[in-house]
Each structure stands twice: as structure tokens, then as C-alpha cells.
Amino acid sequence: MRSFRDFMESALYDPERGYYSLRDKSADFYTAPELHAAFGSVLADRLAVLLEKIRPEGPLSLVEAGCGDGTLACQVARRLREKYPGLAARISFILVERGRKDLTTAARRLNAFGVKVTAYTEIAKIPQFSGVLYSNELLDALPVHLLESRGGEIKEVFVDESGREILAPLSRPELAGPAAALTSLSDGERHAVSLEARAWIASAASKVKEGFIVSIDYGKRFAAGTPNPPRAFHRHAIETELTREPGAQDLTASVDFEAVIAAGADAKLELVSFNTLSKFMIDGGLLAWLEAAAGDDSAAYRERAKLKTLIHPEGMGEVFKVLIQRKEK
């Protein structure tokens, strides 16, 4: 029997049978850079503003954590080179991705641009840097411990060899605090606790000498005791059975940004802003992309539909958030 956290780790990241090793792009969900290249371009514009706040001259690093196959990194690099050539010449790219196949692909794609790039399989291995570290849909993919209220007690969900879920006492002492806050959970309600996200932001902060961390993900600042059950996605639909066919469906939980902000503060990160993706994109100039996609033909319509998904409340616009934290020298 193993914790749900360990089950989720294996189901997502097993090198041979894990979901991310087998994922067919866009089959179960779209990421923003897969939806439209405007996402990467607008992000690059916002990153350029942050980079220029760090130091007026000298080398800078731009780190993408959870870079996948490099789709977003290429969008960002292309925009920086086209619009900010002076700044781009000062930037060294650092890619972080636990999947070695994707990491190799991403590094090769960036190298094809003539971009200076180094690649690592985990954040703990990268050198300290001054610059910006950004991630998109990384924190929501980290494995979570799953707690459930049952008979007036908070138990942890475990998974046996047959995939059956079993309730048992907490597996980690660090879960005691989050469990104690779940006093308002109704019987059977569940809450995902991402110890991994808290540890990740602390590790990332330790690598930043001076600069910013930008986290883009779906979630919210959960009030204490609010349930946050994980979900499974398959073919763009939510599945109810989390442990069915491990590796065949995506497992995820909304990011508890309140916990990430608190962990960041403990790591000497200052909260700069926390906004919806819609506000982040509109403030960054997405409306100009919509204006450029004017037209009555089907291609223009499809273009506008994709762009609107990035900012529409029923698309990514409201459920995705953008957290910016800063570390001073």
C-alpha cells in the first residue's frame, strides 16, 4: 500500500508507463503555449520588463522550470530576440525538465536559434543566478497528499496494489498542520496538500541571487479549511476515478497559492503581484493580437477563438493565475 502522493508520482512520471512519458499533445488538454504563440510572446514582453528591473547591464539568466519539449521557451526566445535584441544578447537560458527526452528536445530547439542554453533535470542542480525563473503549469503537476474527512477525523488516502483507495493515519508529520485546519470539511470531502509545491518554491528561491519567480498555473488562494480535491482528465473530460488506468489519464490538483506565497515568504521572497491570467495577458498587450486577427474568414475566426480562450472567464482567463515574487540582493 502506498500513499496517494506516491501513486500520483508513479502514474504521472514513471519513465516508461507514466502519463507524461506517453502523453499525446492536446489529446486530454491544451497548455497555453500549445493553444497560441501569443501566450509566449506576451509572456516574453512581461519577462523583459522584469529582467530590466534587475540590473542595467551585465549577464542575466532566464530559467524555465518544467520546460517540456521547449514550445514555450522557443516562443519566449523568439520574441526577445525580435523585440529586445540588446537584452536578449545578455541572457543565458536555463531549462529544467525531469523528462530527459523532452529536455534534450527543448535544448536542441533553443540551440537552433543560436541561444545559449544549459539544461538540468531538477531545480536543485541549477547554479545560483540573477534573472527570472518562470514556470507554466508546473506546480499543478506536482504529486499531492490526499486528505479526507471521515467520521469526524482527517485521514490520508492510500492506494493498494489493486488500485483500491484506503484511509489510514497520516504518513508525514508535515501533514498535521494542514489536517488540523480542515475542521470545516464535511464527511467524505477531500483536500489535496502539495508539500512538493512548498518545497519547490523554497528550492527555487535558494537559487535566485537577485530577481523574480513567475508562476502561472490554475488555482487560487484557498481559505483555511476549504476543500481542494484532485481531478483526473481524459479526452478533455473530468474523470471521477482517480486510480483508474494509471498513466492513461492526467492527475492534477488546483494550486493552493496561499501556501505557495507563505512558503515563498519563509524563503525571503516578496509578493509582487497575484492576478488572473486574463489581467496579466490584457495588461501585456493581448488585445493587439485580437485586433490583428480581424477578418470574416474561418481562419480568422479560429485565431480569435484561441486568443479569447486565454482571457475568457470560461476558458483559461479566470481559473489560471499568475504569481510574481521577488528576491532582493
pLDDT surpassing 70 at residue 141? yes
- Structure-model confidence comparison of residues 191 and 184, the more confident one: 191
pLDDT of residue 248: 83
pLDDT of residue 247: 81
pLDDT of residue 67: 96
Mean pLDDT for 183-209 is 95
pLDDT of residue 296: 82
Phi/psi of residue 56, nearest 5 degrees: -70, -20
pLDDT surpassing 70 at residue 263? yes
Q: Say which residues have a Cβ less than 8 Å from residue 187's Cβ, sequence separation at least 6.
A: 149, 150, 151, 152
Number of domains into which the chain is organized? 1
Residue range 9-51, pLDDT digits in tens: 999 998 888 888 876 665 556 789 998 999 999 999 999 999 9
Rounded to whole angstroms, how far apart are CA atoms 90 and 149? 52
Work out the percent of the chain whose per-residue pLDDT is above 70. 97
118 domain residue, yes or no: yes
CA nearest neighbour of 143 among 76, 75, 215, 230: 230
Domain holding 86, by residue range, is: 29-141+195-221+255-327
- In DSSP terms, which residues pair with 94 in a beta bridge? 63, 118
CATH code at 81?
3.40.50.12710
Grid cell locating 42: 506576451
CA nearest neighbour of 253 among 174, 196, 168: 196
pLDDT surpassing 70 at residue 3? yes
pTM beyond 0.85, yes or no = yes
Q: At what angle do helices 257-266 and 195-207 cross, to 10 degrees?
A: 40
Mean pLDDT for 250-263 is 95
pLDDT of residue 26: 55
Residue range 269-308, pLDDT digits in tens: 999 999 999 999 999 999 999 998 888 888 888 989 999 9
pLDDT surpassing 70 at residue 56? no
pLDDT of residue 175: 96
- Structure-model confidence comparison of residues 246 and 74, the more confident one: 74
Q: Centre a 10 Å sphere on the Cβ of residue 253 and count the other Cβ atoms it contains.
A: 25
248 domain residue, yes or no: no
272 domain residue, yes or no: yes
Mean pLDDT for 83-93 is 94
268: left (phi over 0), alpha (psi -120 to 50) or beta: left
pLDDT of residue 300: 87
76-85, 219-228, 236-245, 280-289: least confident range: 236-245
pLDDT surpassing 90 at residue 7? yes
Mean pLDDT for 134-139 is 97
pLDDT of residue 249: 86
Rounded to whole angstroms, how far apart are CA atoms 30 and 35? 6
